[in-house]
Amino acid sequence: MQTDNKFFDDLAKLGQSAVGTLHGVKGEMEAMVRARLENLLQDMDLVTREEFDVVRDMAREARAKNEELEQKIAALEKKASPKKAKK
C-alpha cells in the first residue's frame, strides 16, 4: 500500500524485511536443532523400528516353537511313563 508519507513506506518495508529475516532465522534454527538431535540419537546406538519389528517377530516364532516342543516332550514323557512302571 502506497502512502504519501515516505517515512511510513520505509517503516513498512523495514517491517517486511524483519519478518522475512526472522522466518529465515527460524528455519536455520530448526535445521540446527534437527541435526543436533539426529546426532544425539545416532550416538545413543538405538535400533530402528524395522530392526525392532524383525526381532519381535523372531521372538514370537521362537516362543511358539518352544511351546510346541514342550507339548511334544510332555507327550513323549507321558508315553514313556507307563513303560517305566511296567518294568
Instruction: Sketch the domain layout of the chain as residue ranges.
Output: 1-46, 48-87
The type of residue at 6 is K
C-alpha triplet 51, 54, 57: angle, nearest 5°: 150
Longest Cα–Cα distance of the chain, Å, equals 118
pTM of the entire predicted model:
0.47
Q: How far apart are CA 56 and CA 35, in angstroms?
A: 30
Q: How far apart are CA 31 and CA 29, in angstroms?
A: 5
Q: Please give the residue that has the higher pLDDT: either 85 or 76.
A: 76
**pLDDT class for 85, splitting at 50, 70, 90?**
low
**pLDDT class for 86, splitting at 50, 70, 90?**
low
Give the lowest-confidence range in 13-17, 37-41, 83-87: 83-87
